[in-house]
Amino acid sequence: MGRAGAWRSAGGRWSWRRGRGAALLAAAAGVLLVRPGLLPDLPGRPGSLVEAFLPWLGLAVPPLAGWAVLRRSRTALCAAALPALAWTAAFGAFLLPRTGQPADLRAVQHNIADDNTDRAGTARALARTGADLIAVEELTPAAAPVFAAALGAEYPHHAAAGTVALWSRHPLADPRPVDIRPAGVGEGWNRGLRATARTPHGDIAVYVAHLPSVRLGPLRGFDAARRDESAVLLGRALAAEPLDRVVLLGDLNATVDDRGLAPVVRRTGRPAPDFAFSWPAALPAARIDHVLARGAEVTRIRTLPPTGSDHLPVAADIRF
């Protein structure tokens, strides 16, 4: 019997015996979608890496199901349903249309990129959003006057610290830097800001933060040590915040599922279920730019059209 005949003989009838390896892979994907924290923090941080791109685990379902059909494996086909159900439970709500609830406050967050070659166009795009608060990161000394000129008329209240800045329609009081420097980083590194926004809904503590970037390499794996250290410091600042209402805007270089961001998310909460992938702008794969809130609810979050940055702007509706 030739190879084709052997394949037809083995694959012509559905069997429970074939496909056990694929079934194990499918079961593992399903478990990770629901409980990614079960993946231990091994060297190279594979847990954090999986959590950063967690929704994309759903892409494992079609090839697993296709392989099960080709092999006529009942075991593998049933197992392929596990990650499909797990993905639907974890992210199905992200696909539902959003109701048009009125927003008490609108905020825009954007890492404008220090190598942005269209600073004026980026600033004008942010000015057209109509948001109440606009936060930017990687604001260089050369870009600062460009953004001040474009935003100053509509957003007369401004605060800055290092390379992060905030523009507001409402008065800003008590602006000050927030020290989120990891150990070993010099004093010139300043990427945290806090100010009180005097809004019609009362005083709101507004934080702007830019956590350190992560690195992915063959030797150190997913290197997020500095980001995680900075997240702990930001979490402590949020925990010590006396105001009940807090809005955090920033490039946090992590998704809300990433365990490295847990010290921050515990002090704020998750936004509405929307994908709103913001990075990289050319092919968005993860939302690392965030608008988070405490004492308020982020009811909608979405990305805006691309600018000259490698990040997409993120806009959020907030209700108190």
**From the CB of residue 15, how many other CB atoms can be counted at a distance below 10 Å?**
15
Q: Are the C-beta atoms of residues 129 and 102 closer than 8 Å to each other?
A: no
* pLDDT tens for the chain, residues 1 to 320: 444 444 444 457 888 877 788 888 888 898 999 888 888 877 778 888 889 899 999 998 998 888 888 878 888 888 889 999 999 999 998 888 876 678 999 999 999 999 999 999 999 999 999 999 999 999 999 999 999 999 999 999 999 999 999 999 999 999 999 999 999 898 889 999 999 999 999 999 999 999 999 887 766 667 889 999 999 999 999 999 999 999 999 999 999 999 999 999 999 988 888 999 999 999 999 999 999 999 999 999 999 999 999 999 999 999 99
Token representation of residue 18 = 């074939």
| Residue matched to tokens 């941080």 | 45
- pTM for this predicted structure: 0.89
Short-list 174, 126, 175, CA closest to 148 = 126
CATH number for the domain formed by residue range(s) 105-319: 3.60.10.10
Sort 184 into a burial class: Cβ within 10 Å, 0-12 / 13-18 / 19+.
exposed
Distance separating the N- and C-terminal Cα atoms of the chain: 73
Task: Please tell me the predicted confidence (pLDDT) of residue 100.
Answer: 65
Closest CA relative to residue 176, chosen from 194, 158, 192: 194
DSSP annotation of 189? -
C-alpha 271/C-alpha 290 separation (Å) is 9
Q: CA–CA separation, 74 vs 69, rounded Å?
A: 8
Contacts 24+ apart (CB under 8 A), 91-100: 91/55, 91/58, 91/273, 91/275, 93/273, 94/55, 94/273, 94/274, 94/275, 96/273, 98/272, 98/274, 98/299, 98/300
Closest by Cα among 295, 244, 286, 280 to 261 = 286
**Omega within 30 of 0 (cis) for the link into 280:** yes
Give me the residue spans of the domains in the chain.
6-92, 105-319
